[in-house]
Amino acid sequence: MSLSEAGGSQEAIVVGAGPAGLAAAEALATSGRRVAIYDAAPSPARKFLMAGRGGLNLTHSEPLNELLARYGTAAEGLTGAIERFSPMDLRAWAAELGEPTFVGSSGRIFPKSFKATPLLRAWLARLAGLGVTMKTRRRLIGLADGGRTLRFRTPEGEEETHAAAVVLAFGGASWPRLGGDGAWVAALREAGVEVAPLKPANCGFRVTWSEHLRARFSGTPLKAIALSFAGATTRGEAMIDAEGIEGGAVYALSALLRDAIARDGKATLAIDLKPDLSEAALAARLIRPPGQSASTFLRKAAGLAPVAIALTHEAGPLPDQPEALAARIKRVELRLTAPAPIARAISSAGGVLWREIDERFMLRKLPGVFVAGEMIDWEAPTGGYLLQACFATGRAAGEGAAEWLARSPAK
């Protein structure tokens, strides 16, 4: 096969330099393939670097069957890839790049440095050593010729490139300033590929606060609470913002809440502000001394922070009876009206439907074109599950593309 590097033709192109695309490029290059990565942004892996600000939760240490269950109905499609590139493999890979990992108290796995930058730097150096080239500021705007002729918008104008094998790893539509805006959905649909609409995942929700709560407590964390919805309960922290509520404990219920709002137009989230005390034990503390203000009383007797006290008032005047007051503190009901916009979500649900993809992550309708990462129709909670699936599907798609090139070299 003769492919001219300069003449608009490549052996393998990966579009998207996030963790999924970089993993695909590494697998292809390790198989001896010449790979060029194209990305819309001026520099690679911006979302991965942003994840590093939270310590870079790479994966999770729980047993593989429990980990796979976190992907819900998508577990079946992801199992092969995650078994082939498991959390153990991911840890070994990071260690080889000079970033050993550790298991945190919650079972989550982080690099010891708690940073993404050194890992990314070492990874990019390894890719460069394998001969991978990186072309930034190239936004894919169209696919032709069965998906293997790619049209890019560049600062100099439009550019067309053909490749014998293509891996698409566009990510979802959250945090568009980090590169991915979901505009690829239209290009794939035009090429006949079915894509489920992208929806916010691990997201906050809109709540219409009272003016008092909004003005006084936007940006205030709610600590050590429990949240319940539809029989599911999570514990942790949430954050009040001007338009609603977000944070780890909310994200954990966000798929259920989002789908309920889509179905019913609203959802009622229950907050337990004192999850470590039973209602009876709390009621026993709530005998109010004469002359004490409600706020001082709740702070002293129930140990509630000012933001939690404000929340107990949101549902109307506080009951006087200790039992009723304890019930209020144990169940503050918030009416959620909509998910926060996808641009502010941690990740996206929706994407390329599983039935469009074969076991090597190749698009059935576009032979030679593979997909990986968050752009496939799966979602998972935070906890390292997102990056784990991106690495594993990236690796699987890259290996699939290398196999494809090996089996039919004259493309």
Closest contact distance (angstroms) between CB of 284 and ligand FAD is: 41
> Of these, 247, 339, 384, 398, which contacts ligand FAD (CB under 6 A)?
384
Q: Is 180 in the site for ligand FAD (CB under 6 A)?
A: yes
Nearer to ligand FAD, 312 or 347 (CB): 347
Q: Is 193 in the site for ligand FAD (CB under 6 A)?
A: no
Nearer to ligand FAD, 237 or 333 (CB): 237
Nearest CA to 206 out of 379, 345, 329 is that of 345
Q: Is 247 in the site for ligand FAD (CB under 6 A)?
A: no
Q: Is 11 in the site for ligand FAD (CB under 6 A)?
A: no
The structure tokens 């890019």 sit at: 152
> Of these, 77, 111, 147, 171, which contacts ligand FAD (CB under 6 A)?
171
> Of these, 11, 12, 18, 247, which contacts ligand FAD (CB under 6 A)?
18
| 312-315: Cβ within 8 A, 24+ apart | 312/273, 313/210, 313/212, 313/213, 314/209, 314/210, 314/213
End-to-end CA distance of the chain: 8
DSSP bridge pairs for 362: 370
Q: Is 26 in the site for ligand FAD (CB under 6 A)?
A: no
Nearer to ligand FAD, 56 or 269 (CB): 56
Nearer to ligand FAD, 38 or 205 (CB): 38
CA–CA dist 28, 358 (Å, integer): 18
Q: Is 185 in the site for ligand FAD (CB under 6 A)?
A: no
Q: In Å, what is the CA distance from 223 to each residue of 235, 306, 324, 381?
A: 9, 12, 23, 20
DSSP bridge pairs for 245: 205, 240
> Of these, 8, 32, 42, 54, which contacts ligand FAD (CB under 6 A)?
54
Element holding 102 (H helix, E strand) = strand 101-103
Q: Which of residues 352-371 bind ligand FAD (CB under 6 A)?
A: none
280: exposed, middle or buried (C-beta count within 10 Å: 0-12, 13-18, 19+)?
exposed
Q: In Å, what is the CA distance from 142 to each residue of 20, 36, 180, 186?
A: 20, 18, 15, 9
Binding mask 253-272 for ligand FAD (x = CB under 6 A): --------------------
Q: Is 346 in the site for ligand FAD (CB under 6 A)?
A: yes
CA–CA dist 198, 200 (Å, integer): 7
Closest contact distance (angstroms) between CB of 235 and ligand FAD is: 19
CA–CA dist 314, 113 (Å, integer): 42
Alpha helices in 18-112 (DSSP H): 19-30, 46-52, 64-69, 75-84, 87-96
CA–CA dist 33, 411 (Å, integer): 14
Q: Is 198 in the site for ligand FAD (CB under 6 A)?
A: no
Closest contact distance (angstroms) between CB of 150 and ligand FAD is: 9
Q: Is 15 in the site for ligand FAD (CB under 6 A)?
A: yes
Closest contact distance (angstroms) between CB of 60 and ligand FAD is: 9
Question: Binding-site residue total for ligand FAD (CB under 6 A)?
Answer: 38
Q: Is 103 in the site for ligand FAD (CB under 6 A)?
A: no
Q: Is 349 in the site for ligand FAD (CB under 6 A)?
A: no
Q: Is 56 in the site for ligand FAD (CB under 6 A)?
A: yes
CA–CA dist 366, 72 (Å, integer): 27
> Of these, 35, 36, 41, 201, which contacts ligand FAD (CB under 6 A)?
41
Stretch that binds ligand FAD, among 15-23, 24-32, 213-221, 350-358 (CB under 6 A): 15-23
CA–CA dist 151, 149 (Å, integer): 7
Element holding 154 (H helix, E strand) = strand 149-154
Closest contact distance (angstroms) between CB of 375 and ligand FAD is: 6
Closest contact distance (angstroms) between CB of 105 and ligand FAD is: 16
Nearer to ligand FAD, 308 or 345 (CB): 345
Q: Are 24 and 14 in contact (CB under 8 A)?
A: yes
Instruction: Name the residues that contact ligand FAD, by CB under 6 A.
Output: 15-21, 38-41, 46-48, 50-51, 54, 56-57, 139-140, 169-171, 174-175, 179-180, 183-184, 346-347, 373-374, 384, 386-387, 390
